[in-house]
Structure 1
Amino acid sequence: MPSFTKIAAAAALAVPMLLAIPGTASATTPSGCSSVTQIGSTAYLNVGGQTMASVKQYKGCGKNYSYLYVWEGYRTSHSSWDVCAAIVTNNGHDVQDPRCDHNPVEIWSAGAATLTQCTQALGWTGYGPIPYVNEGDIAVKTDVRC
């Protein structure tokens, strides 16, 4: 039977190891797709002179996805926000199945079957089906990927 001293010593060594594991800022994966790859650049959604979120485009499982991550600095300095993410085609004129949420840390758009088209990831403030529905909505797009 192990002694209390040996158990306590093992626990004391394990706690710092658990505390030393850094948190990751990597994205989860979208619903229904376990493997995605970022394509193109990262865009930054700036609100009131502060970076609110990063917007990225991913491909995987035969679809394109827009991913929006709300920065911790913004989350800690604001009590409420609404954001949306979508894939856009046709030089940004056609919004594909956006997803919107209130106070998320991250949000994935619905997967768009647009791998054969030129696309951009779009992220915006607000809670509308398309950006600029409400005065004051701020939007950003990544670079075009064909």
Structure 2
Amino acid sequence: MRSRMIATAAVAAAFVVLPASSAFAGSGPVAPPSERTAAGSTAPSPEGNPLSAKAKAAEVCDDARQIGTTGYVKRGGETIASVKQFYSAECKENYSYVWLWDSFVDKQDDYDVTASVYSYSQDKQLGTVTWPVDNGQEYWSEGAATASECTAAVGTVRPVGTASPLTGQSDKRC
């Protein structure tokens, strides 16, 4: 009986000393994968990162976000690149973003790439940047001051030795 009282007292003391629950840094709910990107990351990505070195070189505004749906550049039935339109509310500019897929980059040594924003009201491509005989993966156009216009991002890829470029575009955004 005496040992049972001591054991009961020990358990009761343990509950007094230990809190009902504990919180530790990083022990809260886990954010979904789409929200787990590293804050301030400068890594290029298929999704498009306005903080990457190439985005900074093109003077893409930090707050730029994708608008509309992604377009694709295809060779035969194979997708070789994604084309996305980005918009910066802070700078009031649109950008074209072209990302070449690993399956293409791994097989093709050199290619020409162009990224631009097409304005439907002006009927021309703006912010156009061309990279002749390149072998990168991430390409940004310059900003186009087309916030009040209907636009689409346009991207072209011409593998060296091919006569014509392959083209893709995002959807029309107004």
- TM-score w.r.t. length of structure 1: 0.72
Q: Matches of 2:70 and 2:106 in 1, distance apart?
A: 22
Query: 2:108 — aligned with what?
Result: 78
Letter in 1 for 2:116: A
Partner of residue 90 from structure 1, selected from 93, 101, 120: 120
Measured after TM superposition, the shift of residue 118 of structure 1 is 0.3
Partner of residue 28 from structure 1, selected from 42, 49, 63: 49
Measured after TM superposition, the shift of residue 43 of structure 1 is 0.5
Q: Percent identity?
A: 32
Question: Once the two structures are superposed, what CA deviation does each residue of 1:32-64 show, in whole Å capped at 9, x if it has no partner?
Answer: 311211100001101233211000000012100
Ranges of 4+ aligned residues in structure 1 off by more than 3 Å:
23-26
Matches within 5 A, 1:1-146: 25-29=46-50, 30-31=55-56, 32=59, 33-60=61-88, 61-90=91-120, 93-101=123-131, 102-126=134-158, 135-146=163-174
Q: Matches of 1:44 and 1:99 in 2, distance apart?
A: 18
Q: Matches of 1:139 and 1:93 in 2, distance apart?
A: 17
Question: Retained in 2: the 8 A contact 1:92–1:120?
Answer: no
Measured after TM superposition, the shift of residue 88 of structure 1 is 0.3
- Distance change (3 Å), C-alpha of 1:40 and 1:26: closer
Measured after TM superposition, the shift of residue 27 of structure 1 is 1.8
Measured after TM superposition, the shift of residue 136 of structure 1 is 1.6
Query: 1:12 — aligned with what?
Result: none
- Distance change (3 Å), C-alpha of 1:82 and 1:111: same
Aligned residue for 2:154, secondary structure, equals strand
Q: Matches of 1:39 and 1:97 in 2, distance apart?
A: 17
Give the structure with higher Rg (CA): 2
Aligned residue for 2:172, secondary structure, equals coil
Query: 2:20 — aligned with what?
Result: none
Question: Retained in 2: the 8 A contact 1:119–1:145?
Answer: yes
Letter in 1 for 2:48: A
Question: Once the two structures are superposed, what CA deviation does each residue of 1:80-106 show, in whole Å capped at 9, x if it has no partner?
Answer: 111111000127830102112222211
Q: Matches of 1:64 and 1:125 in 2, distance apart?
A: 20
- Distance change (3 Å), C-alpha of 1:142 and 1:26: closer
Q: Matches of 1:116 and 1:73 in 2, distance apart?
A: 37
